Every structure is written in structure tokens, then in C-alpha cells.
């Protein structure tokens, strides 16, 4: 019988350990942030990938351009397909769990003023398109003016 390489499906399935909450925990290498890592071959060369992204692509279909894979269960090494969802970066960031179990995005969304006291209103707030982070226009302008003054000296 010929020795054949395991498929991605087989490799993912063999690395899973089901926990008491029903999460499919990655049983192999994890990165420093706790995400599972798997080596896959792309263009004939090995590449390290996040296991939950490989699992999503294998069982749910390709990840649409511009989207990230979020863990609905909040368990970073879970690869269970129905615990994963493709979402935009700002949605993924808004769902992150903060210290008091409120999401960081929801917590920051409640802030009405910047740390220097300027209002987060339509006229004074810049929202970064890629990340969705808010910036105070007044503070930002002040920083640019200060940097220009330093360069002029």
C-alpha cells in the first residue's frame, strides 16, 4: 500500500481535542497569542498559517477578500466551523473581550470625549477606514502643528 500525504481535512481533524464547552481545540503548535498554527503547502512551498483560517476555508469556503475570521466562542485555538465567522476588521475588533467582559469596541464607543476633553462628534471625529478607530481631529491637528514647529527649529 502506497504511503500518501494526509489531506488538510485529515490533518485538521487529527489535531482537534473537544473540550467541555464543545470547542474544537487545536492540539498542536500555538503562537504566542494562543492561536493554533499549521503548515500548509502553497505554490510548492511550506507556509505557516493560522489553523482557524485554514479550518474555515476547508469547511466553510474561502474567506472573502477584506474579511477576517472571528471566533464566536472567544476561544483563540478553537477551529470548530460553526464557532467561526468571516467579518470585517472593525467588527472583529469590536467583539474582543475586555477586562470587565464588555467588548473593547463597545466600551470605546461609549466614550463621548477624547482624553483631552474634545467631543467625539461628527465635526471633530475622524474614523480610520481600515480599522474603524476614532481619532480626535483637534488633537490630531495639534500634534501636526507641534511636529511642524519642531521641524522649523
Overall domain count for the chain: 1
Q: pTM to 2 decimals?
A: 0.62
Q: What is the pLDDT of residue 101?
A: 43
Q: Which residues pair with 125 in a beta bridge?
A: 136
Question: Domain of 38: which CATH number?
Answer: 3.90.75.20
Is 143 a member of any domain? no
Cα–Cα dist 93/102, whole Å: 12
Burial 20-38 (b: 16+ CB within 10 A, else e): eeebbbbebeeeeeebbeb
Is 119 a member of any domain? no
**Domain extent for 16:** 1-88
Average pLDDT for the chain: 86
pLDDT of 92 strictly over 90: no
Is 37 a member of any domain? yes
Is 139 a member of any domain? no
DSSP for 90-134, please give it.
HHHHHT-B-TTSSBHHHHHHT--B-TTS-B-STTTEEE-TTT--E
Amino acid at each position: 500500500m502506497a504511503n500518501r500525504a494526509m489531506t488538510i481535512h485529515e490533518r485538521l481533524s487529527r489535531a482537534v481535542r473537544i473540550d467541555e464547552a464543545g470547542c474544537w481545540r487545536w492540539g498542536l503548535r500555538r503562537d504566542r497569542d494562543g492561536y493554533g498554527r499549521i503548515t500548509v503547502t502553497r505554490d510548492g512551498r511550506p507556509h505557516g498559517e493560522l489553523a482557524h483560517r485554514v479550518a474555515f476555508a476547508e469547511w466553510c469556503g474561502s474567506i472573502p477578500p477584506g474579511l477576517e475570521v472571528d471566533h464566536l466562542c472567544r476561544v483563540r485555538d478553537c477551529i470548530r466551523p460553526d464557532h467561526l465567522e468571516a467579518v470585517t476588521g472593525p467588527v472583529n475588533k469590536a467583539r474582543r473581550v475586555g477586562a470587565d467582559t464588555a467588548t473593547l469596541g463597545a466600551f470605546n464607543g461609549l466614550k463621548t470625549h477624547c482624553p483631552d476633553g474634545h467631543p467625539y462628534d461628527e465635526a471633530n471625529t475622524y474614523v480610520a477606514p481600515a480599522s474603524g478607530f476614532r481619532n480626535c481631529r483637534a488633537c490630531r491637528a495639534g500634534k501636526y502643528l507641534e511636529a511642524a514647529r519642531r521641524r522649523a527649529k
